[in-house]
Every structure is written in structure tokens, then in C-alpha cells.
Chains A and B, each alone.
Chain A
């Protein structure tokens, strides 16, 4: 588990049925590409978030594959159409097997 990795998300609390909302997500992660060398010349091993998913009431909304070119603290901002009240689940998968997760409820009506 990479230390002190904390995801944070911004989802509106309420929306109208069928409204397009903006979701902002951020996770602090070093996203070490594996291309860098330390001061002694030794390669610093790769350690990145390699996948980010967003699900709504069990249905996949967004599934992103991240590559080493993505820099530190990956930020994703995207739109989603919300048909009903429910819960968004955001999941980040680390190279080392760690999984970071957070959920946000939204009320539609």
C-alpha cells in the first residue's frame, strides 16, 4: 500500500433526472513512471495507478487505463448523465495491488 494515498471526489449532492453532472476526482499518488533514476544512478522502480473506474448503482460508467506518462496526482474530470438516485463508486488500482475506493451518494428528483 503506497503511503498516505487518499482519493477525493466532488459530486453534486442533487441533480434533476437525466441531468448531465460534472464529476471531479483526484488521488494523490506519486505515479513513478519507472523512467527516472535516483542520485546514485539507480532506476527508481515504476509505481503507478494503472486503472480508474467509476460505477453508478453497479453499472460501469467510466473505465480508464492509465499509462506511466500520466503525472503525479492524477485528476479526472468528466460528465455523467444521472437517471435516478443512487451511489457513485470510484476505484483506483495501484501497480502494487492496492485498491483505493470512495463512494458518493446523489439524490435525483
Chain B
């Protein structure tokens, strides 16, 4: 009698261990229609340059999140980042700097920025360098408004990148990876597949080899950037792409690339290219 009970206990314990060890959850099947109006593409055929390494589809991080998290992004009233968009809309109209201009003075309505976010990061025509949206914003502020540059990860810059990105919601990510962008894309790709840090992890180890699996309590996504800047519950605030790269690389116990560095920008281009076809969701909501 006792032996049978013990055996049963051991078997179920072993079974439980096996289940925990191999816990995997596929992304959900769900449709994102923003504000009941804009249908977002959260699943798209994988771009050719991936050569099938992510499977047939590229998938938005939205589909890897809990039901309640996904719901918050469906309606701008519920999305906590809407308050940041409003703050940026005020800044858009605020005159700043020696030239007496606001963003609106040249760009008029922020709606004129539709199409900007899907192409970022982009080669700057004047310098030939690869620039993130933050660099374009500061270029305008310093060189055309005579205002001070905004810090990459402080509220004014994060709010403004969220606002400029938000008017492209629904539009598919479409970055240039050939021509003058090619060397940056190659550099970003090499960084993506390089193991860093004491833990010797590359971006691919989690986001390509293990998307759908859990790392501790976190449900790994494909690591797409179509939703950035993202409102994260864990910090109750917006997070920029370069800041997230720093977080990931710090988690491998390596020295992360500085925000705005050439490495971070090259990596931003490569990661963006892995999500081509997915809708811009910024500001998205994640855990």
C-alpha cells in the first residue's frame, strides 16, 4: 500500500518537473483593431533575408502577452501611454530655442509625420550616417530651432518619439537595408548573432532559438521593435529601443552599448528589418 502511494508520488513529481522544464506557450491567436478603426498586422510573412530562421511568420510581441495586457492596447483611452502622447502634442506646439520656432512652425500638424516611423532608422541624406528618430529630432532642435538637445531616455524625447510614431500606427515596418544602409545592416546582423557577456548569450539565443519558451517567468517573443517606444508595466513608463537593447545586454552581464551609439543604431536597423510587414503599434503596451 505505502509503496504504491510513494511510487505514485514520485511519478507525479517527476512529471511536474518535466512539465516545468519544458514549459512552452505559443503566441495567442487574436486580432488587434485599434480604437475599433485601425486593423493592425500582428502576423506577417517573414522577410526573405531571414531565410526561414524565424519560421514562416514574423509575429508581434502583442501576441505573446496576457489577455489583460493585450486589451489595454486596443483602446487609446485605456492605453497609459496616451497621456505621454498628449504631453508631446503640447511640446509639438511649444516655441523653444533661439529661432523662435516650434515643431509645428515647419511641420504643421504631427499627422504630416505619417510614414516616418516605419522607415526608421534611416540614412541621413546630408551626412550619409544611419540615424535613429531621436537623432533626427535633436538635429531639428539644435540646428533649426536653436534649442537644446533632448536626452535620449528622458520624458520629452520619449514622449515625442511616441507621438511621431503613433501617427504611423497600422502602417507596415519598411526599412531600407540595401544601398548605403547595407554596411550598417551587416554590422547589426553580426551584433545580433554575437554572444555577449558572462552568460554568453546573443539576441538570437532567446529571440530566434527560444521564442515561445519562458525565461524564468517571462514569455519570450521574437524580440520585434514594431511597438517601440513601448509602455511597460514594470516601469510604468515608456521605453526606447536603445534602452531595451541595454537592458537585454546588461542581462547577459555584458557592458551594454550606449544609447545613440553606432552599434545600437546598426542593431536597431537589423532588428527592425526582422519585423518588416508588421504594423507599427507604437506606443504599444507590454509587461
Q: Note all chain A residues with C-beta closer than 8 A to B136.
A: none
Complex contact A28–B83 (CB within 8 A): yes
Complex contact A24–B78 (CB within 8 A): yes
* Number of B residues, CB within 8 Å of A: 8
Complex contact A73–B77 (CB within 8 A): no
Instruction: Give the docked Cα–Cα distance between A26 and B81 (Å).
Output: 13
- State the main secondary structure of chain A at its contact with B: loop
Complex contact A24–B236 (CB within 8 A): no
Binary contact readout B56-85 vs A (1 if CB under 8 angstroms, 0 otherwise):
000000000000000000000110100100
Complex contact B83–A10 (CB within 8 A): no
Q: Work out how many contacts link A and B, with CB atoms closer than 8 A.
A: 14
Complex contact A73–B80 (CB within 8 A): yes
Complex contact A8–B77 (CB within 8 A): yes
A interface bracket (residues with beta carbon within 8 Å of B) = 10 to 19
Complex contact B236–A26 (CB within 8 A): no
Q: Note all chain A residues with C-beta closer than 8 A to B236.
A: 71-72
Within 8 A of B (CB), among A1-47: 4, 6, 8, 10, 24, 26, 28
Instruction: Give the docked Cα–Cα distance between A26 and B78 (Å).
Output: 9
Instruction: Give the docked Cα–Cα distance between A8 and B75 (Å).
Output: 14
Complex contact A73–B83 (CB within 8 A): yes
B positions within 8 Å CB-CB of A: 77-78, 80, 83, 86-87, 90, 236
A positions within 8 Å CB-CB of B: 4, 6, 8, 10, 24, 26, 28, 71-73
- Nearest 3 interchain pairs by C-beta: A28-B83, A10-B77, A24-B77
Q: What 11 additional pairs, Cβ within 8 angstroms, besides A10-B77, A71-B236?
A: A4-B87, A4-B90, A6-B86, A8-B77, A24-B77, A24-B78, A26-B77, A28-B83, A28-B86, A72-B236, A73-B80
